[in-house]
């Protein structure tokens, strides 16, 4: 007997038939003698509608009210899935974040889980009841509902798996595992049987939208064994595990891309010490995440500073920068959403030189201009014009020998 947390994403609970299908899968694990807790997302499309309503009312809406609105999507699913489970004879009960409780830091819209009291869930499972838990939500200060940010249901699942000391956290989704790249772009992409936490982290952060970044960080920290698998097929998925468990390390494990970022350029910033802090301090205070940063060489005492932020954060970033215009002293803010970040990822890069050089050469051969570069120990990312996305991903996938045999 094992204790398993099963997590189902939006497409897996998109309508009543799929919710019934999820109930059947849960029942199978229960019938096998396992203790099961379930974490679910909102029905596919629901969250987008809720977000749109908030944005239509005001682009700079109160994040606490936004959270109140969007958290309802998961609440609907937990109630419906509980009913579906009861209908086929499985004892089940829904749990909202505040009922457990899942305590967060209260950074509304992108809150971090601080603590989960797993005791009521463990005791319910001990009685043979399946807790059906709303993903993506917790509670913040003043008893306000706080959401964990988009994709946060994965994080909920991993955090709950850690809190109830689950043997495994199965993330059911609309793909059947983790691929070397997006199969919609590269039909010859291959499914990976296992990926290291660290690789998955880089893949997630650059947009291989299988697992949300923070959920992988948490799994790594708490040593939660995660399986990514399809809710529509009966095949094993990809395991996300410690790198020691992975026998054969390729140089590059995967090629990822992200269209979620926009490029922001501050023109003619004074080139003086401390200027970066003047720019990025206020952005951080406004909860705007800055990713890639590049600063051109100075001429005439000024420089251009380029960085990327989430596309949704552009209005907020502009607002902050306008307010700080006097203290920063720049000439102009330019924002370009027509960019894609493309990354190669692999633990093997640690011990091999020249891996990034192959990337730059491959892109140059295809005539693709690199706008920004950033690197880490196991990843190299470049920002390119959005229209080159597919071309670049395909070329790199072939260049690193990732294509499946024809």
Q: Under the rule (CB under 8 A), what is the footprint of a copy of itself?
A: 16, 19-20, 50, 53-54, 56-58, 61-62, 64-69, 71-72, 75-76, 78-80, 82-84, 86-87, 93-94, 96, 98-99, 143-145
Give the three-class secondary structure for 401.
Answer: coil
Q: Are 380 and 344 in contact (CB under 8 A)?
A: yes
Cα(382)–Cα(204) distance, rounded to whole angstroms? 16
Residue 112 annotated as binding site: no
Residue keyed to tokens 């306000």? 144
CB-nearer residue toward a copy of itself: 145 or 148: 145
Q: Which residues 6+ apart lie within 8 Å of 81 measured at CB?
A: 13, 19, 22, 23, 38, 40, 92, 94, 132
Q: Are 158 and 218 in contact (CB under 8 A)?
A: yes
Cross-sheet strand order for the sheet of 302-310? 290-295, 302-310, 261-270, 332-336
Give the three-class secondary structure for 385.
Answer: strand
Residue 47 annotated as binding site: yes
CB-nearer residue toward a copy of itself: 76 or 290: 76
Residue 103 annotated as binding site: no
To a copy of itself, the closest distance from the beta carbon of 74 in angstroms equals 9
Residue keyed to tokens 């992409």? 189
CB-nearer residue toward a copy of itself: 46 or 402: 46
To a copy of itself, the closest distance from the beta carbon of 65 in angstroms equals 4
Residue 10 annotated as binding site: yes
**Taking phi first (over 0 means left), then psi (-120 to 50 degrees means alpha), and beta for anything else, what does residue 233 get?**
beta
CB-nearer residue toward a copy of itself: 80 or 211: 80
CB-nearer residue toward a copy of itself: 72 or 358: 72
CB-nearer residue toward a copy of itself: 116 or 218: 116
Closest CA to 100 of 37, 58, 55: 37
CB-nearer residue toward a copy of itself: 46 or 204: 46
Residue 184 annotated as binding site: yes
Cα(177)–Cα(321) distance, rounded to whole angstroms? 41
Number of helices (H), then strands (E), in the chain: 13, 22
Residue 197 annotated as binding site: no
Residue 213 annotated as binding site: no
To a copy of itself, the closest distance from the beta carbon of 92 in angstroms equals 8
How long is the chain? 406
To a copy of itself, the closest distance from the beta carbon of 108 in angstroms equals 11
Residue 173 annotated as binding site: yes
To a copy of itself, the closest distance from the beta carbon of 10 in angstroms equals 15
Provide φ and ψ at 304, rounded to 5°.
-100, 135
Which residues fall in the annotated binding site? 7-10, 47, 74, 173-174, 179, 184, 209-210
Which residues fall in the annotated binding site for ATP? 7-10, 173-174, 179, 184, 209-210
Which residues fall in the annotated binding site for substrate? 47, 74
């Amino acid at each position: 007997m094992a204790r398993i947390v099963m997590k189902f994403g939006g497409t897996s609970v998109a309508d009543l038939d799929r919710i019934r299908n999820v109930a059947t899968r849960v029942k199978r694990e229960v019938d096998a003698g396992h203790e099961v807790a379930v974490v679910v997302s909102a029905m596919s499309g629901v969250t987008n509608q809720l977000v749109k309503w908030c944005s239509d009312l005001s682009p700079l809406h109160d994040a606490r009210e936004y959270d109140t609105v969007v958290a309802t999507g998961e609440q609907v699913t937990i109630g419906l899935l509980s009913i579906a489970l009861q209908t086929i004879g499985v004892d089940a009960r829904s749990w909202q974040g505040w009922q457990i409780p899942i305590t967060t830091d209260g950074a509304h819209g992108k809150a971090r889980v601080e603590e989960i009291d797993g005791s009521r869930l463990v005791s319910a499972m001990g009685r043979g009841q399946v807790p059906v838990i709303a993903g993506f939500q917790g509670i913040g200060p003043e008893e306000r509902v706080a959401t964990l940010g988009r994709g946060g249901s994965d994080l909920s699942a991993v955090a709950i798996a850690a809190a109830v000391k689950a043997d495994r956290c199965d993330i059911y989704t609309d793909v059947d595992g983790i691929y070397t790249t997006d199969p919609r772009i590269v039909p010859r992409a291959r499914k990976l049987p296992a990926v290291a936490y660290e690789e998955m982290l880089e893949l997630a952060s650059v947009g291989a939208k299988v697992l949300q970044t923070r959920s992988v960080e948490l799994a790594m920290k708490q040593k939660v064994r995660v399986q990514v698998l399809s809710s529509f097929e009966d095949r094993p998925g990809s395991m996300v595990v410690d790198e020691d468990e992975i026998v054969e390390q390729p140089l590059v494990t995967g090629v990822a891309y992200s269209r979620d970022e926009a490029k922001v350029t501050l023109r003619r910033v004074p080139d003086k010490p401390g200027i970066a802090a003047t720019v990025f301090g206020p952005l951080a205070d406004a909860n705007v995440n800055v990713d890639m940063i590049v600063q051109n060489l100075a001429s005439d005492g000024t420089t251009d500073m380029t960085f990327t932020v989430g596309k949704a954060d552009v209005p907020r970033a502009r607002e902050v920068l306008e307010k700080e215009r006097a203290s920063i002293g720049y000439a102009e803010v330019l924002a370009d959403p027509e960019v894609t970040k493309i990354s190669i990822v692999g633990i093997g890069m640690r011990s091999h030189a020249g891996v990034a050089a192959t990337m730059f050469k491959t892109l140059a051969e295809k005539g693709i201009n690199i706008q920004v570069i950033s690197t880490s120990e196991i990843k190299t990312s470049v920002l390119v014009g959005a229209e080159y996305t597919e071309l670049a991903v395909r070329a790199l996938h072939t260049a690193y020998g990732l294509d499946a045999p024809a």
